Structure formats: structure tokens, C-alpha cells
Homo-oligomer: A and B are copies of this chain.
Amino acid sequence: MSICYFNGKFRPTSETALPVTDLIIARGIGVFDSLRSYEHKPFALREHLDRLRTSAEGINIRLGGIMEEIKGAIIAGLRRDDCPVAECVIKPFITGGDVNDFGTFPNPRFFVIFEEGIPVSDAEYKNGVTLSPSNEHRPFPMVKSVNYLVGIMQSAEQSDVLECLYCPDGEITETLRASFFMCKDGKIITAPVGRVLNGITRKIILEIARENGFKIEERAPKLSELADADETFITSTWKEVMPVTRVGDIKIGSGKQGPVAAHLLKLFRENKHRWLRQE
């Protein structure tokens, strides 16, 4: 069962409701983050809270003491007996509230959802996923806002596709919900933060990759480079390091998990305890 912290209480998420007057409903004014736990402990808590604060401030939400309350709710929620599973997804949302004061939001609300993630199978890691290329881009890359409509529509009714790959002007930035990496000419290539969302798993993977001697190039790879790429993969909180073996009609590399993605997934799992802390 999923639980939700809202207005000072934990309740079943299915029994938690937000006033229809909140601007997250009528105008899409809201930000969120998505982190996870391993063995009841939050992963990269500080990094996710920093990003959530940056997101909220980026759209002029006046936070007051909300960030401290959210941190307390996450730590308390993970200790509860009704916390759904030891490895769960935690989603704090900050909403615009009811007042739009010339594009600033002085009275925000917040809530935190704890839920089970959808299991990722070994077969998915071995065979990889398919993405659908799109000319669109994430609005405000430094803000993880709830405005996902345009992105979701880019791969609507394509049941063989995980999600869209944003490629504005032929330059690959990120996917709807993950950071994108291309391996080519002995380097791992990925778009720089600012051009793309500050992916937390992205940052950790780059740190681990550098420690282990991989060469990194931070630039947006071109769509035209895909066909010659050795391999591509995405990183995200829940999928960790997931191979991408097809983009639209283009098969990438061997069509299976490549050696870099396999190595980085192994390194990530061996090192993840370094980011399991409650501060």
C-alpha cells in the first residue's frame, strides 16, 4: 500500500486529496522529485532535496520552512511500519498553492508519496529499451516541474517504446524521465547540466566512471551519431543504468546490454552505499 504525508499526517495515498483551487491542478504550477530507498534508507537524500529546492525556487515558489518539513517527512516515512517496501519510490511534490502573485507563489502546499516501484527485470537490463526520438525539449531543464504532457504525447500509443528521447535540432539532450549517455570513440558522451535536468543518478554515475578511468565528454551527442555509437544507455533513480538498444528505427550497437553499461551498473551497485545517508 502506498502512503502519503500531507498536512502533517501520514495517510493511505488513495485517501489523500488536494484542493481543486491549487494551481498545480489548474495551471501546472508544481515541482517534484523522485528518490528511492535501499534497505529502508534514502538514497542521495541531500542531492534530491537540493534539486527540489532549486526546482521550486526556479518557478518562484516561496518555500519558507517547507524543505525541512519534507526532509523530516521522508525520514519519518521510511521508518513507519506501513511504509510499503524496503526499496520504495519517494516522491515529494511542492505545489503553487492557491495564489499567483504576478508569477510568484507565496502560499505553496507540499505532500510526499511513498510507493512501490515497478520492478525492473534482468531481461530488461540484458535486452535494453527502445526510445522514440522527438524534436521537443524539456521545458526549463533546471526545474523538475510537473509539465510532462508534451513529452508524454511524443510516444503516445507506442507500446514498444519506454518514452521519448528529446532531440531538439538533432542534438540529443535527455529522455522524458532519464539522463542519456552515448559511448563512442572510447568516451562516454552526455549533455551538460543546464541543457538537461541535473540528474542525480547521472551525477553519481559520472563520478564513479571518472574514478574508474572512463573518459567523459559533456556535450549533447547528435542524432546523426547514433548509428555509429558503440552503445547507449540511460540513468535514473529507479532504472539505475539501463541500456538503450533502439531509438526509433535505429538499432544501437549489438542490440543487447553493452560492456560499459554492464560495468557501470555493477560499479553503481557496489558503490551505492556511499550515498545511503540521512543528511
Contacts from A to B (Cβ < 8 Å)? 4, 6, 13-14, 16-21, 24-30, 32, 59-60, 91, 93, 95, 100, 102-104, 111, 113, 139-140, 145-150, 152-153, 155-159
Contacts and interface: CB of A to CB of B under 8 A. Distances in A.
Contact of A147 (B28, B60, B95): B28
A26 B153 CA distance: 15
Nearest to A27: B148
Contacts of A16: 19-20
A91 B21 CA distance: 12
Copies in the complex: 2
Contacts of A147: 28, 147, 149-150
Nearest to A15: B19
A104 B16 CA distance: 24
A124 B25 CA distance: 29
A236 to B, nearest CB: 16
A103 B20 contact: no
Contact of A18 (B17, B91, B149, B152): B17
A20 B32 contact: no
Contact of A28 (B4, B100, B148): B148
Contact of A140 (B91, B104, B150, B155): B150
Nearest to A29: B149
A19 B150 CA distance: 23
Contacts of A59: 149, 153
Tell me which of A27, A91, A113, A158 has the highest count of chain B C-beta atoms within 10 A of its own C-beta. A27
A30 B113 CA distance: 21
A20 B158 contact: no
Given A20-B18, A60-B156, A113-B20, A149 B27 contact: yes
Nearest to A152: B103
Contacts of A146: 25-28
A268 B93 CA distance: 44
Closest 5 CB pairs of A and B: A103-B156, A17-B17, A27-B148, A28-B28, A28-B149
Contacts of A60: 153, 156-157
